[in-house]
Chain A
Amino acid sequence: EIVLTQSPVTLSLSPGERATLSCRASQSVRTFLAWYQHQPGQAPRLLIYDASNRATGIPARFSGSGSGTDFTLTINSLEPEDFAVYYCQQRSNWALTFGGGTKVEIK
């Protein structure tokens, strides 16, 4: 099973700042990695798939990069609705696995 490690666990930022989230895989997942946003009490939302492709309807302030074992989700100029928990997920190997999550909180 591929283990995904996300860092930091918590990121405290103000609206308008840039958020940089990291996801590291225990072995190469090529570019087969996605990012999700999860608000409390809501369904998770797909943001980025295959490392750098924005999903339908996702604002341009969200961008993804990386390949192999190191990936980054960047959120430019945080909006109030962006404060949430973010998960990465790999599809390189079965079983599909998620990272432990990064909580982006208001500073």
Chain B
Amino acid sequence: QVQLVESGGGVVQPGRSLRLSCAASGFIFSNYGMHWVRQAPGKGLEWVAVISYDGSNQDYRDSVKGRFTISRDNSKNTLYLQMNSLRPDDTAVYYCAKEKGVLPYFDSWGQGNLVTVSS
């Protein structure tokens, strides 16, 4: 069965960096687009970034453009999110999510990884 396991979260000061990882198994990772979705405390879900199946295309929500970078290593079945210049409003549980076929819906999710940006 599909498994997505995030790691790399924690507490970080404003302006610092953090890298999240998402280890995938149970499916052919290199065939699917992958996303990061986050949920701030007490808030709803918010899409963050997408990367195509082969890593050739990426897109981001405006508030993270220029600060976050999504990448993948298909040889390691791993998705990444490099987060720089972190701000308190980036505090959230971050989920990696797999696309449903070629459609940008999310049919499998990780359990989530909390990132807290605080001094």
Q: Which residues of A contact B (CB under 8 A)?
A: 34, 36, 38, 42-46, 49-50, 55-56, 87, 89, 91, 94-101
Considering the chains assembled together, what is the distance between the CA atoms of A89 and B46 in angstroms?
Answer: 10
B105, A43: Cβ atoms closer than 8 Å: no
Q: Does B67 contact A (CB under 8 A)?
A: no
A34: B residues at CB distance < 8 A? 105
Q: Does B27 contact A (CB under 8 A)?
A: no
B49's nearest neighbour on chain A, judged by CB, is A95
B105, A89: Cβ atoms closer than 8 Å: yes
6 A-B pairs in the complex with CB atoms less than 8 angstroms apart: A36-B45, A43-B110, A87-B45, A95-B59, A96-B47, A98-B45
B109, A43: Cβ atoms closer than 8 Å: yes
Q: Say how far B67's CB is from chain A's closest CB, in angstroms.
A: 15
Interface range for B: 20 to 34
Chief secondary structure at chain A's binding surface:
loop
A50's nearest neighbour on chain B, judged by CB, is B103
- 4 more A-B residue pairs beyond the given contacts A94-B59, A95-B62, A97-B47, with a C-beta to C-beta distance below 8 A: A43-B109, A46-B105, A95-B47, A96-B47
Q: Does B100 contact A (CB under 8 A)?
A: yes
Q: Say how far B24's CB is from chain A's closest CB, in angstroms.
A: 14
B106, A46: Cβ atoms closer than 8 Å: yes
Set A43, A45, A49, A98: member contacting B44, Cβ < 8 A: A98
